[in-house]
Amino acid sequence: MTERFERHRQPWRQDEIQKLHLLAGKGMSLRSIAKALTRSEESVQVRARADKLKISKLR
């Protein structure tokens, strides 16, 4: 299961950060946020932790 992320190793843009805050605020899961931002789950998790955001643990 190899997924390609078009934003691999790219710095976060301001619009992506805003979308991350919005989606996390709506209670979306890590997987769905990562898919919406076309970034890996790990990348989203690291950025969320840096911004002190809580991400739902829906599975």
pTM above 0.85, yes or no: no
Q: Measured between alpha carbons, how far is 53 from 2 in angstroms, rounded to an integer? A: 27
Arithmetic mean of pLDDT over the chain: 86
Residue 51: how many CB atoms within 10 A of its CB? 12
Q: Is the pLDDT of residue 15 over 90?
A: yes
pLDDT digits (tens, 9 = 90+) for 22-50: 999 999 999 999 999 999 999 999 999 99
